[in-house]
A = this chain, B = another copy of it.
Amino acid sequence: MDAMTNPRADRVKDVAKLAGRPSRTKRRQFLVEGPQAVREALQAHRDCLNAGGEPIVDEVYASRECLDRYPELAELLAGSAAQPGGSGKLRIASELVLAAMADTVNPQGVIAVCRFIDVPLAEVVAAKPRLIAMLCRVQDPGNAGTALRAADAAGADAVILSASSVDVYNPKTVRSTVGSLFHLPVVLGVEPAEAAQAFRKAGVGILAADGYGALNLDQLQDESAARSFDQETPEAAYPLEAPTLWLFGNEAQGLSTQELELADHRVAVPVYGAAESLNLGTAATVCLYASARAQRRS
Contact = CB atoms under 8 A, between A and B. Distances in A.
Contact of A292 (B272, B274, B275): B272
Q: Which of A151, A156, A285 has the most CB of B within 10 A?
A: A285
A113 interface: no
A272 B285 CA distance: 12
A146 B276 CA distance: 14
A272 B146 contact: no
A175 to B, nearest CB: 12
Contact of A154 (B183, B222, B273, B279): B273
Contact of A282 (B225, B275, B285, B296): B285
Interface string A259-285: 000000000000111111111011001
A149 interface: yes
A226 B178 CA distance: 36
A275 B231 contact: no
A161 B229 CA distance: 39
A184 B273 contact: yes
B183 A275 contact: yes
A153 B183 contact: no
A275 B153 contact: yes
Interface residues of A, number: 40
Q: Copy number in this complex?
A: 2
A286 interface: yes
Interface in A96-150: 142, 146, 149-150
B153 A282 contact: yes
A273 B155 contact: yes
Contact of A229 (B149, B155, B184, B231): B231
Contacts of A241: none
Contacts of A218: 293, 296
Interface of A: 142, 146, 149-156, 178-180, 183-184, 218, 221-222, 225-226, 229, 231, 271-279, 281-282, 285-286, 289, 292-293, 296-297
Given A178-B275, A225-B225, A281-B282, 7 more contacts: A146-B279, A152-B274, A155-B271, A221-B293, A272-B292, A285-B285, A285-B286
